Chain A
């Protein structure tokens, strides 16, 4: 199998160089490489599910997840209630200890119905091989191909670097997360990293489009094409090709290891970053760490039909659960992203202002930002500010 695969890839190299990539991934080959249950199979998404917007109110799925998730969701609901955000949450708890995937399936159906979800990080305790990571399952099933994390420094918060403003755009469904692993011979495990033209193009186009719409200057594609010449090479080549449609933007590329070094020494050189799956998770954790940690930044996952909002770095925070020290800001920011996505700009702005004022001007911060306050202190202060300027529903 492995030999056959190498041969196929070698054969493929000639057309790759001469004819360009679209011919590289023919249907026959995808079927050969991809096993029966592949993340690559195009998900059949029902486009004709009507949206869950009734009388100006939106239905939104809420997946509190594990660890600090439930407490943070409690704060978000309190804040929404206070400022009258027209959102009706459908809360679905996924029990991490159960073996079956009933709850998970139900959660995915619920997101399909509502179109939008706010999500904590869901634990997958089970080590059984048949069970996939629940977070990955949600992304794959809903075909959420792009993850966007906007890392922007808050002034006054102790951090290694000031005034960082980087947008990280990450391919979210294939690459190393294709979940294709097998032990071909005893003692030898192969894990497949899959790059497809389709998905690489979708994410690159998203990155360039984002840059254009938000007046950004440069897109940096992160890769390791010097080692993985075919897979990362394809990703890079697609990005180069998409760039031709956006001549006003600058495009450069950087190797992942160098990127990490550059990110910690001079993060200001980056503007918009376009990355494959694993590199994306690494770089977003690095940059979030640089500007204040996991508790501040929110992340957005988009597919063609669905959007899921969550804290930017995907940690459950089980160790600090129930201690009232978890930083609620990341989840609040995720909920602000969600309000913006649904078009409730006014509510989003009010909550954003209150949060900003709390952690920057009033300096009410949880221990992870060098403060001494508890989570509830932060939330109470936000509510206090909100009560002065409540928006109507």
Chain B
């Protein structure tokens, strides 16, 4: 009974938040409509997602950013309120940019379906490359300084292929799929990213000593692609060693390219090194579209409605998005404000050891926009 009440409460809260989003989007669109505005799809997600997105919208409004949002509430744990996946996909196809919170994934599916909503969205749009830029932030005290690593993760195949079956009672097989085509594609993405951003080294993370064929193919594809990039070094590292190296000496990494599951692990590990899930932004690329989402995927359900979540990651998704759509000046203004607030250290959310609320933090950012 109490669980039901909790779920209902959350449902109402989220519904209200989404309604607020719809309204604010419509209003800001009507006020300052001109041909030069960009439309961006917005999926607030579960947990604290709607609160973070609200913070982002406030900051965008204060900075006068010429971007309009098209909001969709998409959720797997809340199928009654959720928008249709087709609509969201169509909107992202049209706008080519999207800002997305995190979608919660239940451990057990009621309908026996193996593919989660997140995975469906990714396959539907072919968002194959997830890029998480892990960077030490000014004023955030962590074990290591000057971390600046980009983790590029294949996220449409591998362990996430959703192919599992029980061949004999008591024996479950889970298929991990590795294809040359997708491995080449992600490797080329990583090397092109390194070229574009003047980086020197790409580290391929694998476990080819155990999975000689599957991870072996991934590794071989990386080697093949690296031949096209004579000015960038290719380094190979086994995933268990990678995690150890990452916590003891993270500065040795430049760009990392990983298969699906290892990427998820390394993403979270690296995010933890620079301050946690609240401060790391990421993006998922297909050939045509980009979905910007926080780098470490946690919905932070226990904080819903408590006004304590850190909106930095979501705001940084926003600045990344602005850079992508050729509005670098706005991006810089917001990024500088974030850096300034973090550096001052007076206003901090709980995850960074402060006592301030999400709202205080947002207001501080707005006060620093100049």
Contact = CB atoms under 8 A, between A and B. Distances in A.
Contacts of B290: 54-56
Given A106-B231, A393-B325, A393-B326, A54 B96 contact: no
Interface string A73-114: 000000001001010101000000000000000100100110
B185 interface: yes
Contacts of A51: 287
B153 to A, nearest CB: 14
Interface size range of chain B in the complex: 20 to 34
Contact of B230 (A54, A55, A81, A109): A109
B144 to A, nearest CB: 29
Interface in A115-134: none
Contact of A54 (B35, B231, B285): B285
Given A88-B196, A109-B230, A54 B184 contact: no
A390 B327 CA distance: 12
Nearest to B288: A56
B36 A392 contact: yes
Interface in B276-293: 283, 285-290
A56 B289 contact: yes
Nearest to A59: B192
Contacts of A55: 96-97, 283, 285-290, 324
Nearest to A112: B228
Given A56-B96, A84-B326, A88-B196, A113 B288 contact: no
- For the residues of A in contact with B, the DSSP-based class is loop
B121 to A, nearest CB: 15
Contacts of B38: 392-393
A390 B36 CA distance: 7
A43 to B, nearest CB: 15
B188 A113 contact: yes
B189 interface: yes
A54 B290 CA distance: 8
A200 to B, nearest CB: 31
Nearest to A106: B230
Nearest to B127: A55
Interface residues of A, number: 24
Interface string A349-391: 0000000000000000000000000000000000000000110
B289 A50 contact: no
A52 B188 contact: yes
A59 B325 contact: no
Interface in B5-53: 35-38
B146 interface: no
B189 A54 contact: yes
B315 interface: no
A341 interface: no
Contacts of A84: 325-326
A351 B290 CA distance: 25
B316 interface: no
A53 to B, nearest CB: 5
Nearest to B231: A106
Given A54-B189, A55-B324, A84-B326, A109 B289 contact: no
B281 to A, nearest CB: 15
A90 B38 CA distance: 26
Interface string B81-101: 000000000000000110000
A51 B288 CA distance: 12
Interface string B193-206: 00110000000000
Contacts of B288: 53, 55-56
Contacts of A54: 129, 189, 192, 285, 287, 290
A86 to B, nearest CB: 7
A84 B35 CA distance: 14
A291 to B, nearest CB: 35
Contacts of A113: 188, 191-192, 228-229
Interface string B168-202: 00000000000001001100110110011000000
A392 B40 CA distance: 12
A57 interface: yes
Nearest to A105: B230
Given A56-B289, A390-B36, A49 B188 contact: yes
Contacts of B189: 50, 54
A198 interface: no
A248 interface: no
A85 to B, nearest CB: 8
Contact of A109 (B192, B228, B285, B286): B228
Contacts of A59: 192, 196
Contacts of A81: 326
User: What 6 A-B pairs have minimum CB-CB distances, sorted nearest first?
Assistant: A55-B290, A84-B326, A393-B326, A393-B325, A50-B185, A55-B285
Given A56-B287, A56-B290, A393-B326, 7 more contacts: A54-B189, A54-B192, A56-B289, A81-B326, A109-B230, A113-B229, A392-B38
Interface of A: 48-57, 59, 81, 84, 86, 88, 90, 106, 109, 112-113, 389-390, 392-393
Interface of B: 35-38, 96-97, 129, 181, 184-185, 188-189, 191-192, 195-196, 228-231, 283, 285-290, 324-326
9 contacts: A54-B189, A55-B283, A90-B196, A109-B229, A113-B188, A113-B229, A392-B37, A392-B38, A393-B325
